[in-house]
Chain A
Amino acid sequence: GENVEQHPSTLSVQEGDSAVIKCTYSDSASNYFPWYKQELGKRPQLIIDIRSNVGEKKDQRIAVTLNKTAKHFSLHITETQPEDSAVYFCAVTESGGGADGLTFGKGTHLIIQP
């Protein structure tokens, strides 16, 4: 089955600096790569996603890049703010358009230092 590795497990950055979280996956047939943000005690919330036919996608301060050849994708957060503190999960779908659920990385705890 699919295997997703996420690094780092904890990331501490100064407010206003950038944060980058990276995920690698094993199944070359994976075709959809979402990122979820989870605040303490809350449900995961989709923040951005990218499909296999796109190399980069931006939404205000967040962006995702995908390198299908190397089988890795990254989340970039610029101008970090205190409300960005949370656990971030990458995920992938195996072939099938998302029908067979998501395989998640183990998460990155992002800490924004004031």
Chain B
Amino acid sequence: NAGVTQTPKFQVLKTGQSMTLQCAQDMNHEYMSWYRQDPGMGLRLIHYSVGAGITDQGEVPNGYNVSRSTTEDFPLRLLSAAPSQTSVYFCASSYSYNSYGYTFGSGTRLTVV
């Protein structure tokens, strides 16, 4: 098992550019979610999904889109990058109801200039 795989590990974007952060898991987890981590702010939930075809917004969803066409993949799209989106992004996944342990990917460090 590779666990939760995030690509790329590092990315620099110019303001206004769009891009997709990839997240894939091979553990057949139903639940997946995206977080951003900023200094002194902890991790904040962007979007989450309880299964293929179902997504919902978290605490800080503005400027981001997600889709969940398969159980394995949960990409995060930045529509028009802004400097305020400079952050480290983590994807996480978990089994459903009876097992709450979330496994995190290794993260994507994004800089918007």
**Which positions in A face B, CB cutoff 8 Å?**
1, 6, 9, 32, 34, 42-46, 49, 51, 89, 91, 93, 97-107
Contacts and interface: CB of A to CB of B under 8 A. Distances in A.
16 contacts: A1-B59, A34-B101, A43-B90, A43-B104, A44-B104, A89-B42, A91-B43, A99-B31, A99-B48, A100-B50, A100-B56, A100-B58, A101-B48, A102-B35, A102-B45, A105-B42
Contacts of B44: 104
Task: List 6 A-B pairs, minimum CB-CB distance, nearest first.
Answer: A97-B97, A101-B33, A98-B100, A104-B42, A101-B48, A106-B42
B90 A44 contact: yes
B106 interface: yes
Contacts of B75: none
B87 to A, nearest CB: 14
